[in-house]
């Protein structure tokens, strides 16, 4: 059946009509984005970029990614509770990356003052590429603001419809149901319930300038279905009108906040002033459940990912679970330290020799910053002092490209040579030492032209997609 | 509970936030329209105009409107088969209204040639206003291109969500489920099945310039769910590439057409040339099922509505069903002929004396042309010869206004004094003399500022709404 999809892509006569149908179906299914020009306005919107056809993905690797997700949830959660590990792993990063350093400072300070909330909510997305045709390699795990769980749900109906219109009824039925936003909302609702104040609300920390608001709105709609009230506030709003009471309850505009769901604050430029950092500290200090708390945020750094790839490290978190270790490790790509010292020097030499084999990744969140090919040499050769420590080096993954049409506002309809990235959403809730929920809640396929070596969907490069299993 | 909604409208502090939530929810629920500036493009769209809150409607009249719908279906269907009645009723209209005259000519010609298809599909919408607080009065029945069955479905989720966000959980649950598009699609699918060619398609006759395309797309999506294939074509497309084979099968672009669903061709300006009229004739002659056939189209004229209001006329169509007659007649408003002659002269005098009591309605389809107040006098006094016969006079209905916010692209958020119009969708399929399906398939509430005396949603005046029954 995957061959059938490959054949359709070649049928250029039909493709133009299908693309019209697909755009309207995307709009009607809520696969929406605001425009760059007016990201603050609901008056004119466009479809979120997406592929005309779903992309063939081998069943076995898809299942492998689903199966390992709850273990990744446990891993993230266990690392976040191991202060010594985090401190050691991030020591070199903190030296050179101001962002990580400031986050870690908040972590230390709140630890010193004492953690005020025993309920932890983790919503993450583990992203993979296919090395060759059957080997799954993790790119990163997003432990803060993992997005597209809302829009991914809408795209299911679009691809089902398009395959039917194209006369491929059976293929259409093979598109998997998928509603990550519902799972994320279920976990938020569970955590909020454990907070224990019925009238308290969920605060979604947002930027005031968000093209991808409809993805967030999907989670809000799912939460409202569960009778969970949400409010959207920026750092500025919280700074101006939010405060902690004597019991460290977070209050804003007269409402008690049970849970702060971060959809902002994952990238340095989102902290526009010292006030924003002070606000993050206040949120972390509060009794509100944080999604994520700052330790979980730090767990998502590339440096932690690289340290985990060292022999023996995973075993520390799963001392009596060799099969879990094996399952997780099977998804690791080669990751290498660029710390100062003989090990890092050897790695630099290795990268300079064969730059095409690697990707140089900054340690921060929010795609669009990876470095490839000769640029790697340039960056490593021009790095002064310990600047290279702001990066880690990773094996470049050799995915087999496929053809597809990337539908994007005002873009011409042309076949692209594409690479895809599979994300799996994880959701867990812990209360004290007890895991109350630990689930895999859906998937996300994103596809980009292989001309673009890097970038997320929001960055205008990768587009939303669905896996077509074979 | 209706009082609760009235109270919310006064809470201006909350209303601004609710309006933001509502616009995004409308967009995510597919309550969409294209822009006037680029009605041919899916690149930028807006929300279809709608009310922030649902509008209280008395339960009894709502139920009355639902209950009478299948009788209206029968009535329309029976009139459409009574050529003598149509001829007599429309004689005076044909004299003065070129549009009706041309439609009737096609009717006569195809009758002469012999009807080539025994399956009839009727999709209509009967529209009412409330006279006082408990008396339902029919405004008109739309027998061609009855719209908003798609967008109405999406608005259910929007108002449910908004009432929940406003803290009115119980009220939210009281919003009725409603999916007219699904019912329209079911009837189309049923008729298409009776046509008997599995691979034949449904042709949706459209204009190439349609802001309200998403309403049509909803029906297409529902049809695709039923595995019914649709194609969208204009009069020009059909003229250029469509033809009848020896058995009068309609063929276009190599596809056999089982059914023509008119979403264009209801207003004079939509026939841009003699070719478009020739095309309508070809479609009418064809073996394809027509929704509507030309007789059913003619049955929707105001003149027929006025003739039906005369004593004894309804009884001709329901000779042994006095209770059906009673049920239908209970929804009639006063309707008066302006035909030349003593009866018409008396009516003109009556209208000139108390113009505020009446509405002057042109006999054609597609809102926005009604005449009120002193304008009535002007039109009647300036009418030359038999020009007045292009209109009928109707009692003006005295609805009790309610307050609401009308959300419309780029419009300020202000309370409006509003009037509402309730539409009920009817769907029926007849094969020869046997009614195979006869159903009421959903409702539509439209609300307009009472400052605007007239106009449909598409005309930028009335907006989509939901009834809140009390």
Number of domains in chain B: 2
pLDDT tens, N- to C-terminus, chain B (470 residues): 578 778 888 888 789 999 999 999 999 999 999 999 999 999 999 999 999 999 999 999 999 999 999 999 999 999 999 999 999 999 999 988 899 999 999 999 999 999 999 999 999 999 999 988 789 999 999 999 999 999 999 999 999 999 999 999 999 999 999 999 999 999 999 999 999 999 999 999 999 999 999 999 999 999 999 999 999 999 999 999 999 999 999 999 999 999 999 999 999 999 999 999 999 999 999 999 999 999 999 999 999 999 999 999 999 999 999 999 999 999 999 999 999 999 999 999 999 999 999 999 887 655 557 888 899 999 999 988 888 988 899 998 988 889 999 999 999 999 999 999 999 999 999 999 999 999 999 999 999 998 755 545 444 589 999 999 99
Distance from CA of B110 to the nearest CA of A (A): 34
- As beta bridge partners, residue A394 has A335, A359
Q: Render the burial of A32-69: b for 16+ CB within 10 Å, e for the rest.
A: bbbeeeeeeebbbbbbbbbbbbbbbbbeebbebbeebb
Q: What is the enclosing helix (H) or strand (E) of A261?
A: strand A255-262
Q: Do residues A109 and A233 share a domain?
A: yes
Give the three-state DSSP class for A2.
Answer: helix
Summary count for chain B: helices (H), strands (E): 17, 21
List the single best residue of A18, A23, A25, A42 to mutate versus B (max B Cβ within 10 A): A42
List the single best residue of B13, B18, B24, B169 to mutate versus A (max A Cβ within 10 A): B24
Q: Do residues A73 and A113 share a domain?
A: yes
Question: Is residue B140 within 8 Å of B368, Cβ to Cβ?
Answer: no
Domain of residue B387, CATH code: 3.30.1490.50
Q: Do residues A72 and A52 share a domain?
A: yes
Q: Do residues B438 and B352 share a domain?
A: no
- As beta bridge partners, residue B407 has B50
Distance from CA of A39 to the nearest CA of B (A): 12
Is B238 within the bounds of a domain? yes
- As beta bridge partners, residue A244 has A250
Of the candidates A371, A336, A370, A332, which has an alpha carbon nearest to the alpha carbon of residue A355?
Answer: A371
Dihedral, CA atoms, B147, B149, B150, B156, nearest 10 degrees? 130
Tell me whether the omega of the peptide bond preceding residue B205 falls within 30 degrees of 0, making it cis: no
The angle formed by the CA atoms of residues B15, B215 and B290, to the nearest 5 degrees, is 155
Q: What is the enclosing helix (H) or strand (E) of A155?
A: helix A151-165
Instruction: Identify all chain A residues contacting B20, using CB atoms and an 8 Å cutoff.
Output: 42
Distance CA B139, CA B325 (A): 18
Tokens standing for residue A184: 């994320």
**Number of other CB atoms surrounding residue A422 within 10 Å:** 23
Percent of chain A past pLDDT 70, that is, above it, reads: 97
ipTM over cut 0.90: yes
Is A413 within the bounds of a domain? yes
Question: Is residue B413 within 8 Å of B19, Cβ to Cβ?
Answer: yes
Q: Is A365 one of the catalytic residues?
A: yes
Instruction: Identify all chain B residues contacting A159, using CB atoms and an 8 Å cutoff.
Output: none
Question: Is residue A339 within 8 Å of A92, Cβ to Cβ?
Answer: yes
Q: Is A323 one of the catalytic residues?
A: no
- For residue A458, pLDDT over 50 is answered with no
Question: What's the pTM value of the predicted model, to 2 decimals?
Answer: 0.94
Residue spans of alpha helices (H) in A309-426: 313-317, 322-329, 342-353, 374-382
Q: Give me the pLDDT at residue A1, please.
A: 59
Distance from CA of A24 to the nearest CA of B (A): 6
- In angstroms, how far is CA A248 from the centroid of its own chain? 30
Q: Do residues A260 and A375 share a domain?
A: no
Tell which of A355, A370, A396 closes a domain. Answer: A396
Tokens standing for residue B57: 């409607």
Q: Say whether B217 and A24 touch across the interface (CB within 8 A).
A: yes
Q: Do residues B47 and B62 share a domain?
A: yes
Q: Do residues A364 and A266 share a domain?
A: no
Distance CA A28, CA A154 (A): 9
Q: Do residues B338 and B194 share a domain?
A: no
Is B401 within the bounds of a domain? no
Find tokens 């979604």 and name the residue: A204
Distance CA A355, CA A372 (A): 7
- As beta bridge partners, residue B120 has B430
* Phi and psi torsions of B108, nearest 5°: -60, -45
Q: Do residues A164 and A181 share a domain?
A: yes
Instruction: Identify all chain A residues contacting B35, using CB atoms and an 8 Å cutoff.
Output: 44
For residue B229, what is the nearest residue in chain A, using CA coordinates? A165
Instruction: Identify all chain A residues contacting B48, using CB atoms and an 8 Å cutoff.
Output: none
For residue A412, what is the nearest residue in chain B, using CA coordinates? B43
Tell which of A352, A370, A396 closes a domain. Answer: A396
Q: Is A302 one of the catalytic residues?
A: yes
Q: Do residues A460 and A321 share a domain?
A: yes
Q: What value does the mean pLDDT take over residues A448-463?
A: 67
Instruction: Identify all chain B residues contacting A222, using CB atoms and an 8 Å cutoff.
Output: none
**Number of other CB atoms surrounding residue A414 within 10 Å:** 10
- For residue A124, pLDDT over 80 is answered with yes
Find tokens 């108002």 and name the residue: B159
- In angstroms, how far is CA A238 from the centroid of its own chain? 24
Distance CA B253, CA B249 (A): 13
Is A401 within the bounds of a domain? no
Dihedral, CA atoms, B290, B295, B296, B299, nearest 10 degrees? 160
Q: Do residues A347 and A218 share a domain?
A: no
Cα end-to-end distance, chain A, whole Å: 7
Distance from CA of A221 to the nearest CA of B (A): 7
Question: Is residue B198 within 8 Å of B212, Cβ to Cβ?
Answer: no
Pick the catalytic residue: A142, A145, A179, A466?
A142
Q: Do residues B247 and B387 share a domain?
A: no
Is A302 within the bounds of a domain? yes
Question: Is residue A449 within 8 Å of A462, Cβ to Cβ?
Answer: no
* Phi and psi torsions of B351, nearest 5°: -70, -40
- In angstroms, how far is CA A18 from the centroid of its own chain? 30
Instruction: Identify all chain B residues contacting A214, using CB atoms and an 8 Å cutoff.
Output: 24, 27-28
Question: Is residue A441 within 8 Å of A186, Cβ to Cβ?
Answer: yes
Is B99 within the bounds of a domain? yes
Measure CB to CB from residue B43 to each of A169, A227, A409 and give the nearest one. A409
Tokens standing for residue B266: 């209801």
- In angstroms, how far is CA B77 from the centroid of its own chain? 16
Find the domain containing B379 and state its range.
334-396
**Number of other CB atoms surrounding residue A111 within 10 Å:** 12
Measure CB to CB from residue B227 to each of A32, A35, A169 and give the nearest one. A169
Is A368 within the bounds of a domain? yes
Is A106 within the bounds of a domain? yes
Where residue A341 falls (left for φ over 0; alpha for ψ -120 to 50; beta otherwise) is left
Q: Give me the pLDDT at residue A220, please.
A: 98
Q: How confident is the model at residue A367 (pLDDT cuts 50, 70, 90)?
A: low
Q: Is A366 one of the catalytic residues?
A: yes
Residue spans of alpha helices (H) in A246-341: 274-285, 294-299, 302-308, 313-317, 322-329
Tell which of A396, A414, A442 closes a domain. Answer: A396
Distance CA A78, CA A72 (A): 10
Give the three-state DSSP class for B129.
Answer: strand
* DSSP characters over B347-377: HHHHHHH-GGGEEEEESSSSSS--EETHHHH
* Phi and psi torsions of B239, nearest 5°: -65, -45
Give the three-state DSSP class for B32.
Answer: strand
* DSSP characters over A63-130: HHHHHHHHHHHHHHHHHHT-HHHHHHHHHHHHHH-HHHHHHHHHHHHHHHH-----EEEEEEEEEEEE
Distance CA B289, CA A216 (A): 45
Pick the catalytic residue: B23, B122, B140, B242?
B140
Beta strands at B467-469 and B463-465: parallel, antiparallel or unpaired: unpaired
């Amino acid at each position: 059946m995957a061959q059938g999809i490959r054949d359709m892509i070649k049928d250029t006569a039909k493709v133009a009509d299908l693309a019209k149908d697909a755009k309207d179906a995307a709009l009607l299914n809520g696969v929406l984005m605001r425009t760059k020009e007016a990201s603050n306005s609901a008056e004119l919107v466009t479809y979120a970029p997406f592929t005309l056809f779903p992309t063939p993905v081998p069943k076995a690797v898809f299942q492998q990614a689903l199966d390992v997700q709850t273990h990744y949830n446990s891993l993230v959660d266990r690392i976040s509770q191991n202060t010594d590990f985090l401190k050691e792993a991030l020591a070199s990063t903190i030296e050179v990356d101001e962002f990580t350093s400031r986050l870690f400072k908040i972590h230390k300070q709140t630890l010193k003052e004492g953690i005020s909330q025993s309920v932890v909510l983790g919503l993450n997305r583990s992203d993979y590429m296919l090395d060759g045709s059957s080997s799954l390699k993790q790119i990163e795990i997003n432990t803060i603001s993992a997005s597209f769980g809302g829009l991914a749900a809408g795209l299911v109906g679009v691809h089902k419809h398009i395959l039917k219109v194209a006369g491929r009824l059976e293929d259409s039925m093979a598109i998997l149901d998928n509603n990550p936003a519902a799972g994320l909302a279920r976990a938020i609702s569970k955590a909020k319930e454990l907070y224990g104040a019925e009238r308290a609300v969920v605060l979604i920390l947002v930027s005031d300038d968000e093209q991808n608001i409809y993805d967030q709105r999907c989670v809000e709609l799912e939460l409202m279905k569960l009778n969970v009230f949400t409010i959207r506030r920026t750092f500025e709003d919280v700074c101006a009108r939010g405060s902690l009471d004597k019991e460290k309850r977070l209050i804003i505009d007269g409402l008690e906040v049970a849970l702060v769901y971060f959809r902002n604050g994952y990238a340095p430029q989102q902290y526009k002033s010292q006030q924003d950092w002070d606000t993050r500290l206040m949120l972390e200090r509060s009794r509100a459940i944080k999604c994520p708390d700052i330790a979980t945020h730090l767990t998502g750094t590339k440096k932690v990912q690289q340290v985990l790839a060292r022999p023996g490290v995973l075993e520390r978190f799963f001392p009596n679970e060799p099969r879990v270790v094996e399952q997780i490790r099977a998804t690791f790509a080669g990751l290498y330290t660029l710390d100062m010292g003989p090990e890092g020097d050897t790695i630099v030499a290795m990268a300079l020799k064969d730059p095409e084999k690697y990707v140089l990744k900054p340690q921060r969140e929010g795609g669009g910053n990876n470095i490839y090919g000769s640029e790697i040499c340039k960056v490593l050769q021009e790095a002064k002092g310990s600047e290279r420590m702001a990066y880690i080096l990773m094996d470049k993954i050799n995915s087999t490209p496929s053809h597809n049409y990337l539908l994007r506002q005002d873009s011409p309809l042309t076949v692209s040579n594409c690479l895809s990235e599979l994300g799996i959403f994880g959701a867990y809730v812990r209360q004290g030492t007890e895991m109350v929920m630990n689930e895999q809640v859906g998937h996300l396929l994103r596809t980009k032209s292989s001309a673009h070596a890097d970038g997320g969907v929001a960055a205008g490069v990768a587009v939303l997609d669905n896996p077509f299993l074979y």
